[in-house]
Amino acid sequence: MKKLLSILLVVMLVATFAVGCGTTDNGDNGDNGTTYTDGVYFAQEEGTGSGWKYFVVVTVEGGEITDAHWGGTNIEPSGNKYTVSAEGNYNMGGASEWYEQADAAVAWLIENQDPAAFDDMYTDDEGHTDALETDDGTQVSIHVIEFFDLVKEALAGEPVPEGTYTTPEDYVATAVMETAEGDEWQYKLDLIIVNGTIVDSSYNASYIGEYSEDTAKYFRKDAEGNPNPESPSSKVELGEDYGMDWKGNAAKIDEFVEANQGFEVEYIDDDGHTDTITGVSIHVNEYEDLFNQALGQ
């Protein structure tokens, strides 16, 4: 009898500890014994050099996934892909809108709790599936492997610490600098803010000047390798082809902001240069203006 009471006491203590820590060993999470710790999690793709870069935010409460978001930022900052789609500015060519299909993946995750359980549901190597439908019953046509892989990555890491910034509803604060007549570059910024913390800064400048023989290098090339006058590029995409390592400088600014959770620098001249950020030689006053604009400061 004493042995039975001892066993029951141990079981109760273990259960109490699990509840107190806000974690649970969810039997629906497969055979890997996955345990979720309460918090807000974030993961993002590595930069691909062009196009959209996906990210996820996963909220765990009481040891369970209670909310998730799948979004993306573009190499030319323009806000969250989810919001761009929801506002009707991302054409899927007749299929359900991208955000509706993203919602279907999120709904499956919240219902099933385990991103790894989706591994056997892909129909090709690109990550398409026939296992998801939107709310109106339309088959999901986008590849969803990015979402589930990023959720795995997010939950395998640590929760995002609570910061001091206001988290945007769609997690992305964006800003575009006003231009004047004769300007050839327009500076842009996306900040991803999760749980009040800046988890990503993406700074770039898009070419807005006229096409000419001299400026052809600032335009993307077509299939034949010729500059496309209808497709201006950006400083980050151009890389060293811009004429200097503006891309590398911008990356150092982004890293500085993420590490310091703010943009406080001392300027050394009226042109906006600073020696506060190691290795940065470009003027950074445009970034400061965008940073304050994005955060409403």
So where are the chain's domains? Answer: 35-156, 172-294
Q: Would the pTM of this model clear 0.85, i.e. be above it?
A: yes
CA 61: distance to chain centroid? Answer: 22
Give the whole-number percent of the chain exceeding pLDDT 70.
Answer: 88
Nearest to 187 by CA among 160, 208, 207, 205: 205
Mean pLDDT, to the nearest integer, of 117-123?
97
- Checking if the pLDDT of 166 tops 50, the result is yes
pLDDT score recorded for residue 34:
59
Domain 35-156, CATH class in plain words: alpha beta
- Checking if the pLDDT of 30 tops 60, the result is no
**What single DSSP character describes residue 185?**
E
CATH number for the domain running over 172-294: 3.90.1010
* Interaxial angle between packed helices 98-112 and 145-156, expressed in degrees from 0 to 180 and rounded to the nearest 10: 50
Give the CA angle between residues 222, 224, 226 to the nearest 5°. 60
Alpha-carbon gap, residue 57 to 160, rounded angstroms: 10
pLDDT score recorded for residue 21:
43
